[in-house]
Amino acid sequence: MGNSLKSAEFLIESRLRDAARGDCTACYDLGVAYSTGTSGVCFDLIEAHKWFNLAAIAGDEAAQIARAEIAGDMTPRDIAVAQRAARDWLGGHRAQAA
């Protein structure tokens, strides 16, 4: 179990660094990890939607499809929370880049 946790932490940390640099593939990868529980990452559809949304905004068509698919398993409130989290991420990282 310890290795699984370390694997999940490494995946998230490395992809977060790349996402912060504007890498939409990293955002998509985070969406996949959260939507499937890959590599010991906690299953979390709100986080998955957030990351798919960020990748979709950058033009990633696979992320647009994945976001729509998981939205079917979410409540409208969950989707609103995920959208707000994506806006907050964008706002925070635009401010850092300025």
pLDDT tens digits along 1-24: 456 667 778 888 999 999 999 899
Name the residue range of residue 31's domain. 17-97
pLDDT of 37-78, one tens digit each? 987 889 999 999 999 999 999 999 999 999 999 999 999 999
pLDDT of residue 2: 58
Q: State the pLDDT at residue 1.
A: 45
CA distances from 36 to 32, 44, 51, 73, 87 (A): 6, 8, 13, 13, 23
Whether residue 58 is contained in a domain is answered as yes
pLDDT at 94: 58
Number of domains present in the structure of the chain:
1
What's the confidence (pLDDT) of residue 52? 98
In a domain, residue 34? The reply is: yes
**End-to-end CA gap in the chain:** 41
Asked if the structure places residue 86 within a domain, the reply is yes
- Whether 93 is covered by a domain: the verdict is yes
